[in-house]
Amino acid sequence: MLQVEEEITDIGRLRELLPEYKGSNTDLKVIDQINGVAKRFIAAAPFVVVATKASPGLIDVSPKGDPAGFVEVFDEKTLILPDRLGNHRVDGFANLLTDPNVGLIFVVPGHGDTLRVAGKARIVKDQKISERLSVNNRQPLLAMVVDVEEVFMHCSKSLIRSRLWHPDQWPPRGTAPTLAEWVVSAVDREQTVDEVQGIHSNDEENRLY
């Protein structure tokens, strides 16, 4: 086990090191509904990260992406996320069956701030929803309905530090490991990286919707 100087184990010590700024904008900016600003942000976001809690206690985090505005703001307390074709692991959906708590972070390309939403989610199968959220005439079979409890915008410090939107700071294309490389390293099958990559490339071309 990693040896450290101190492990923080209670809120008192945590706040001693990182004091809370009572009455500041950071403290007061949390609301319990999708207001006009949040609605505009969601309409501009083509990407959202969804966190759910698995029954053994682990946290699952799943990226979701579609054309900007793909998450429907049904009303100020309700969001609807379509479920697109994926790997059929259904980790997030399975988690919601035992723990409905969910957290979301909406991201807009080139924009520093992010929008955070937390609440309770449920899995639904509804023809009207599927029709509204169709893309290229392909309807999602299921959707996630989020009953909103907490909403706030997060400052841009992390994206500024990461220089995420600065192409001159991106690694050269092809230097980061691929999913195909992961599969070959983690799965005991006699497939080459090129063979696995061919499968994934076919999926990307033919199974987006």
> Can you give the residue ranges of every domain in the chain?
27-162, 171-206
CB contact at 8 A, 82 and 66: yes
Q: Could you tell me how far CA 180 lies from the centroid of its own chain?
A: 22
CA pair distance 36, 26, nearest whole angstrom: 19
The pLDDT of residue 7: 95
Which value, to the nearest 10 degrees, does the dihedral of the CA atoms of residues 154, 155, 158, 162 take? 120
The pLDDT of residue 9: 96
pTM over 0.75: yes
The pLDDT of residue 86: 83
The mean pLDDT values, 10 residues at a time, for the chain of 209 residues are 94 93 72 97 98 90 96 98 90 95 98 97 97 94 97 94 95 92 90 93 88
The pLDDT of residue 164: 95
Is 27-162 a CATH 1.10.10.60 domain?
no
CA pair distance 159, 168, nearest whole angstrom: 15
